[in-house]
């Protein structure tokens, strides 16, 4: 489990680097457009690719850090046993949702890769690159949810998370 969390910390570092890259791309694109009337070729499309990776990779990291939004007005007032059951139920629903994301996202990526789909951009950018972010990100959050579910059952109190 420790190696898995270390892997996700490396993913977080990668996310930070991707944010820096995205910021640099936007500054160069806007600066080139404003000062020289010459924007970065494919800058918008490259930003979309980087942003898709930032979005989907951050899902699992947000769950590990326990920063996802929770609606807990009613759930926190439940008895501890029922609270545990509700948490397990919502985790299982999340597992199903993200498993579907992996399945459907992989199909979209595979089709795009096989036909050689590319973005309509001034430079060649494969369209499968941002499409790969969905199944990868969903798989990462799926593994975190699975570990969270297992830790709930092995934890005697059933309340603590990863």
| pLDDT tens-digit series, residues 68-78 | 777 777 777 88
Directed axis angle between helix 128-154 and helix 43-64, to 10°? 0
Distance between CA atoms of 121 and 125, rounded to whole angstroms? 7
Give, in order, the Cα–Cα distances in Å from 61 to each of 8, 30, 36, 129: 6, 30, 39, 21
Under a CB-based contact definition with an 8 Å cutoff, are residues 151 and 19 in contact?
no
Regarding predicted confidence, which is higher, 58 or 108? 108
User: Which tens digits make up the pLDDT trace of 12-66?
Assistant: 788 888 889 889 989 998 999 889 988 888 888 888 888 999 889 888 888 887 7
User: Coil, helix or strand for 118?
Assistant: strand
Distance between CA atoms of 3 and 90, rounded to whole angstroms? 26
Please give the pLDDT value at position 75: 77
Distance between CA atoms of 128 and 109, rounded to whole angstroms? 5
The pTM of this model reads: 0.80
């Amino acid at each position: 489990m420790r190696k898995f969390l270390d892997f996700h910390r490396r993913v977080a570092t990668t996310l930070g680097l991707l944010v820096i890259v995205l910021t640099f791309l936007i500054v160069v694109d806007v600066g080139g457009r404003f000062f020289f009337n010459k924007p970065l070729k494919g800058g918008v499309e490259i930003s979309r690719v980087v942003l898709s990776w930032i979005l989907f990779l951050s899902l699992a990291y947000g769950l590990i850090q326990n920063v996802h939004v929770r609606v807990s007005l009613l759930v926190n007032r439940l008895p501890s046993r029922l609270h545990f059951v509700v948490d397990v139920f919502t985790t299982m629903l999340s597992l199903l949702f993200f498993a579907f994301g992996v399945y459907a996202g992989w199909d979209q990526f595979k089709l795009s890769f096989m036909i050689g789909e590319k973005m309509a951009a001034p430079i060649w950018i494969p369209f499968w690159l941002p499409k790969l972010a969905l199944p990868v990100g969903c798989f990462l959050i799926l593994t975190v949810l699975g570990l969270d579910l297992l830790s709930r059952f092995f934890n005697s109190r059933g309340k603590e998370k990863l």
